[in-house]
Amino acid sequence: MDYVTAAVPHPRSEGEGPARAGRRSLAVALMSGALGAAVALLATRQRWSEGIATVAGDPFPLSAKGSDVTGVPAALAIVGLAALVAVFAVRRTGRFAVSALLALSGAGIVA
């Protein structure tokens, strides 16, 4: 008599799907936060305006960068980057607190 064998996949545990989805959403959130903080830091270093003022009959070149206006967005971007690192150091309730800090930093940068 001939024997027939078939490759049967191993049964998955029920906890594997939600855990993978949680890690994926955490990775997307971390990448988005890092990208947002990097954009905010780069925006504070960009030259936003330039012009020439006449002082005592001589031209005087002027320029303004984002950090010349205020240092708050750069500081909040650094807080956001620190919060992204802190996500790996905390669990459950602490992770929610760190994510709230990160969201507030992002809202402050936008405002």
pTM of the model: 0.66
Decide: residue 40, CB within 10 A, 0-12 exposed, 13-18 middle, 19+ buried: buried
Tokens of 93: 């309730």
Q: What is the rounded distance in angstroms from the CA atom of residue 103 to the CA atom of residue 87?
A: 13
pLDDT of residue 7: 66
Tokens of 53: 């003022």
Q: What is the rounded distance in angstroms from the CA atom of residue 38 to the CA atom of residue 78?
A: 9
The DSSP element (H or E) to which 14 belongs, if any, is: none
pLDDT of residue 5: 66
pLDDT digits (tens, 9 = 90+) for 53-90: 988 888 999 888 877 878 888 888 888 888 888 887 88
Nearest Cα residue to 86 out of 25, 33, 23: 33
